[in-house]
Amino acid sequence: MLNSQQVISKSYKELSKAELYAILSLRIQVFCVEQNCPYQDIDFQDQKSQHVFIQKDQYLCAYARIIPDENHVFHIGRVVVDKKFRGDKLATLIMKNCINYCQNQHPNSCIEISAQSYLNAFYQALGFKSTGKYYQEDDIPHEQMQLISV
């Protein structure tokens, strides 16, 4: 299990070429190849995103990005864990760091996610609640969720 000191957060401009390459590689490996979804992962949102990732010995284990909008709504997405590290609670660690980042940037801001529906219980355990908006994205059931402050 990795600890929070190995969670890295960088803007697009701060990412090295090697880090960006590893991020895009992991996203394509899981979202396009493993989940068999041919879609345009490179969507021109990375340039305005905060990139949160976990490395172990220079190997990218987990990743998420945070996209802020002009209304101080944060959108956490592309949450992914390399298959070799699933079960190590890295998704929880990444999400908690993303939530902390958003709340530190703008306390009481809205945090939204577009969750694959089968992960509903995982996100609920982190404080997210479904907005009731369900949809198919790349033939995978999704739902919009928002963090409910407690």
- The radius of gyration computed from the CA coordinates of the chain, to the nearest angstrom, equals 15
How many angstroms separate the CA atoms of 64 and 103, rounded?
16
* pLDDT, tens digit, 9 for 90 and up, residues 20-70: 999 999 999 999 999 988 888 999 999 999 999 999 888 999 999 999 998
Strand order of the β-sheet with 128-137 is: 7-11, 50-56, 59-68, 73-81, 110-116, 140-147, 128-137
3-state secondary structure the chain: CCCHHHEEEEEHHHCCHHHHHHHHHHHHHHHHHHCCCCCCCCCCCHHHCEEEEEEECCEEEEEEEEEECCCCEEEEEEEEECHHHCCCCHHHHHHHHHHHHHHHHCCCCEEEEEEEHHHHHHHHHCCEEEEEEEEEECCEEEEEEEECCC
Tens-digit pLDDT profile for residues 73-106: 999 999 999 999 999 999 999 999 999 999 999 8
Fold of 4-108: Aminopeptidase (3.40.630)
The Cα 89–Cα 1 span in angstroms is 8
pLDDT beyond 50 at 12: yes
